Amino acid sequence: MRPLTFRKLFFQCFILAVILFFVVILALKFGAVPVSLYALGRDLLRVLLGQSSQISSDYGLIIQNIRFPRIILAVIVGASLSVAGTSFQALLRNPLADPYVLGVSYGAAVAAVLGLVAEPHLALPPALAALFTPLCAFIGAAATITAVYFLGRRQGQIESNTLLLGGVITGYFLSAIIVFLLSTVNSSNTRGMVFWLMGNLSTSFQKSVYWFLAAGFLLATGVIYASANDLNILLSGEKEAMHLGVDVRRVRFVVYVAASLLTGLAVSVSGAIGYVGLIVPHIIRLIFGSDHRTLLPTSALGGAIAMVIADTLARIVVAPNELPVGAVTAVVGAPLFIYLLRRRLA
């Protein structure tokens, strides 16, 4: 009987944060453009000292403007997907739930494809035009999640199985629409559209986008974390949770909205990257247990670590070309998931 203490939680998170730090350093080092650890350390020091103007070399610019933002994107997307996966698994009481099981990514993809088709006709200012597709994707994700929420409601209450099935069917429906869209729009445009179904972190964004993503992630994760204990109890069953003093309806709604926000943000900047939101929470559970007060922050860090590693692989395996990171996570994730499943059964 050793209760969770703040010190223990902090220690666990600290270990993962240190791992994440080293993974990020390695990710900064490896890439299409070679860079020495020394030069990297020197430039990092300069950035920390606020002298980033002294980084004049082309390599420095590449690291600063391309590689580093991309790693930050991987961190945020990985953490978001993991936290969303953890939340959906608790919320739907289904260990197979992941951020995409509710058809979110397909909703985002449909809207993104429509956005790509419409954007040339809209004469938007350049800065907005660059954001237009991600914005569309986010709206698509939000609309899908809202629709699935109402599909999953019965007599004013969310029913896990109905919601899950509703999400899966919505996903099939939307993927059919994507196939329809891809086969009707001009064929030369489809290559970029398929991106929304493969997952990709190579997109470059304005700086404000990263701040916005980080803020959205912290807000949504904070909201979910405030219900960490409620989620623990929800895992034992809804009826029980009700009798144990959990306001099941409110917790479900709040966590659903927050997890959806995380998913929407991730999808809108990276397309659909599978398996991270499914597998990372399971691995973290094996290591740190299933208490959501630990699970949520450690999953976030674990997801960030996994995503940075996956994206680094995507960058360097066929350098100077790239793989879609969704392919990397699927190739690594699917066998890993089967292993975890067998282990659970044994």
When the beta carbons of 146 and 253 are compared against other proteins, the nearer one is 253
Query: Per CB under 8 A, which of residues 8..67 are in contact with other proteins?
Result: 31-33, 58-59, 61-62, 65-67
Q: Residues 6 or more apart from 96 whose CB is under 8 A from it?
A: 89, 278
Residue 177 Cβ vs other proteins, minimum distance, rounded to whole Å: 16
When the beta carbons of 17 and 32 are compared against other proteins, the nearer one is 32
Query: Per CB under 8 A, which of residues 88..127 are in contact with other proteins?
Result: 89-90, 93-95, 120, 126-127
Q: Is 238 in the site for other proteins (CB under 8 A)?
A: yes
Residue 171 Cβ vs other proteins, minimum distance, rounded to whole Å: 22
When the beta carbons of 13 and 19 are compared against other proteins, the nearer one is 13
Instruction: Give CA–CA dist 119/138, Å, rounded.
Output: 15
- Give 284-287's long-range contacts (Cβ < 8 A, gap of 24+): 284/82, 284/86, 286/340
When the beta carbons of 9 and 257 are compared against other proteins, the nearer one is 9
Q: Is 171 in the site for other proteins (CB under 8 A)?
A: no
- Judged by CB under 8 A, the residue of 51, 54, 157, 206 near other proteins is 206
- Judged by CB under 8 A, the residue of 176, 226, 317, 341 near other proteins is 226
- Give 329-335's long-range contacts (Cβ < 8 A, gap of 24+): 329/199, 329/273, 329/274, 329/275, 329/276, 330/274, 330/275, 332/275, 333/274, 333/275, 333/276, 333/278, 333/279, 334/275
Q: Is 345 in the site for other proteins (CB under 8 A)?
A: no
Side chain identity at residue 33, one-letter code: V
Query: Per CB under 8 A, which of residues 312..331 are in contact with other proteins?
Result: 315, 319-324
> Which tokens belong to 42?
């020197």
Task: Find the helix packing angle between 126-151 and 160-184, rounded to 10°.
Answer: 140
Q: Is 175 in the site for other proteins (CB under 8 A)?
A: no
Of 87, 60, 30, nearest in space to 226 by CA:
87
Q: Residues 6 or more apart from 2 whose CB is under 8 A from it?
A: none
Q: Is 159 in the site for other proteins (CB under 8 A)?
A: no
Residue 66 Cβ vs other proteins, minimum distance, rounded to whole Å: 5
Side-chain half-sphere exposure of 117, counting CA atoms within 13 A: 15
- Judged by CB under 8 A, the residue of 149, 195, 256, 288 near other proteins is 195
